[in-house]
């Protein structure tokens, strides 16, 4: 029996029986300019998403040498590729000759990266290794024309990338104790069943919804709200990163059950939230939902990359049915329910009905997220220390 999940279940059970929840010290007001000011939005996205490590992909998307994934993140063309040394590297998906896109967005496998325009060829490490018609082109130093690399590190089954060339980070320092927590998920060894991109409302409206259980009974009454207890949250923070534990309605079964007979995984649901754009939700045992939220072209839009993981590849009709049902459940819960409310919030921002939003004491994870946005926007706070775990348990 895992001592950590046992302790989380015990904390959740206390809240369940007492009808309480983990709380922040006070309520918190956020001016509406944080959601609708175009200039502020541009600066925040630049500082936070372009200069901090982003969860760009899952390791299992690049299982073998030569596997690549090409995508655009916040308008930046990214190429991730696993080399023969099994290291994942990130580079701009742009030829150093005339700027053509090297690989179409999507996934595949390449021993060599060849530009479709003039057949300049690059190794899996981004080095220029060949030029069509090189003898007639003219003399150049190949080592001066490699692809532009982006700093990239692989940790806990996730590929982390900084979108600004020349900037580096230490992933262990960035994640701190949260890295050990992510390792317990063993993400690299899951099976990817399905991946899709969902349009969503603005960045903060979207992320706010991932960070509280206050809305579950009303918004998710047809999906996850059937199983989880509304307004019950057990929170642990790791600097800007967070672990949210929700209680399942089956917690009542533990009230008179000896603790040595508990199976805590059946009674709690954990969400691991990596700042600023990652949410990992283990909802129904052998199934997991990974969400990567990226700001869109305007402050009122986002794209969420939603990945459905299964502990093992479904092999029977029953297993496949369960996986398809989980996928459909998460799609409805997020696209129809969460984002349905989110779009209505986004459309009302300019109405003049509010000049600020109010976060309750029962929404401590939302408060923590906005507090860290403010810290990273402080020009005096352009570095971070290794974050340690903080429990909100009273």
pLDDT in tens, 5-41: 999 999 999 999 999 999 999 999 999 999 999 999 9
Kindly report, residue by residue over 134-171, the tens digit of the pLDDT.
888 988 888 899 999 999 999 999 999 999 999 999 99
Q: Region 86-98: what's the mean pLDDT? A: 97
**Continuous segment of H or E residues that includes residue 154:** strand 152-155
Domain boundaries, the chain: 3-51+172-391, 54-168
Q: Give the pLDDT confidence score for residue 392 in this predicted structure.
A: 82
Q: What is the largest CA-CA distance in the chain?
A: 83
| Dist. CA 119–CA 102, nearest whole Å | 10
Tell me, yes or no, if the pTM score tops 0.85: yes
Residue in 261, 279, 278 with CA at minimum distance from that of residue 270: 279
User: Could you give the angle at which helices 203-210 and 364-377 cross, rounded to 10 degrees?
Assistant: 140
Q: Region 52-78: what's the mean pLDDT? A: 96
Decide if 233 contacts 213 (C-beta within 8 A). yes
Q: Give the pLDDT confidence score for residue 79 in this predicted structure.
A: 98
| Dist. CA 90–CA 106, nearest whole Å | 15
Instruction: Tell me the CATH number for domain 54-168.
Output: 2.102.10.10
User: Quick check: 380 pLDDT over 90?
Assistant: no
Of residues 35 and 223, which shows the higher confidence score?
35
**Continuous segment of H or E residues that includes residue 42:** helix 38-44
| Beta-carbon count within 10 A of 289 CB | 22
| Dist. CA 372–CA 304, nearest whole Å | 21
Q: Give the pLDDT confidence score for residue 161 in this predicted structure.
A: 98
DSSP 8-state class, residue 94: B
Kindly report, residue by residue over 177-193, the tens digit of the pLDDT.
999 999 999 999 999 99
Kindly report, residue by residue over 305-317, the tens digit of the pLDDT.
999 999 999 999 9
CATH match for 3-51+172-391 among 3.90.380.10, 1.20.120.10, 3.30.1490.20, 3.40.50.2300: 3.90.380.10
Kindly report, residue by residue over 252-295, the tens digit of the pLDDT.
999 999 998 999 989 999 999 999 999 999 765 689 999 999 99
Fold: same for 3-51+172-391 and 54-168: no
| Dist. CA 283–CA 199, nearest whole Å | 22
């Amino acid at each position: 029996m895992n001592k950590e999940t046992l302790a989380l279940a015990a904390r959740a059970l206390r809240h369940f029986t007492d009808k309480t929840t983990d709380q922040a010290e006070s309520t918190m007001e956020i001016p509406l300019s944080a959601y609708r000011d175009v200039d502020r939005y541009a600066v925040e996205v630049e500082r936070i998403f372009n200069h901090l490590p982003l969860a760009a992909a899952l390791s299992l998307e690049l299982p073998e040498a030569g596997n690549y994934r090409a995508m655009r993140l916040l308008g930046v063309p990214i190429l991730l590729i696993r080399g023969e040394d099994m290291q994942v590297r990130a580079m701009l998906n742009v030829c150093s000759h005339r700027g053509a896109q090297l690989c179409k967005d999507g996934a595949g496998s390449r021993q060599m990266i060849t530009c479709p325009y003039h057949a300049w060829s690059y190794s899996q490490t981004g080095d220029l290794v060949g030029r069509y018609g090189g003898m007639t082109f003219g003399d150049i130093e190949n080592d001066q024309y490699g692809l532009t690399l982006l700093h990239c590190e692989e940790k806990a089954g996730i590929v982390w990338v900084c979108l600004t060339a020349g900037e580096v980070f230490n992933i262990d320092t960035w994640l701190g104790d949260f890295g050990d927590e992510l390792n317990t998920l063993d993400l690299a060894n899951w099976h990817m069943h399905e991946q899709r991109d969902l349009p969503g409302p603005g960045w903060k409206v979207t992320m706010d919804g991932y960070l509280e259980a206050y809305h579950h009974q009303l918004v998710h009454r047809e999906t996850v709200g059937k199983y989880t207890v509304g307004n019950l949250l057990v929170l642990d923070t790791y600097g800007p990163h967070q672990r949210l534990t929700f209680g399942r309605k089956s917690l009542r079964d533990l009230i008179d059950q000896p603790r040595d007979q508990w199976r805590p995984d059946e009674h709690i649901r954990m969400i691991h939230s990596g700042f600023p754009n990652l949410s990992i939700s283990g909802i129904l045992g052998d199934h997991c939902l990974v969400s990567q939220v990226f700001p869109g072209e305007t402050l009122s839009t986002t794209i969420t990359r939603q990945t459905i993981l299964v502990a093992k590849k479904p092999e029977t009709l029953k297993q496949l049915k369960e996986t398809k049902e989980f996928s459909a459940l998460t799609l409805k819960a997020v696209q129809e329910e969460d984002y349905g409310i989110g779009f209505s919030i986004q459309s009302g921002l300019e109405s003049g009905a509010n000049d600020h939003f109010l976060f309750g004491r029962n929404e401590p994870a939302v408060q923590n997220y906005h507090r860290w946005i403010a810290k990273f926007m402080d020009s005096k706070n352009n570095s971070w220390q290794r974050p340690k775990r903080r429990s909100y348990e009273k």
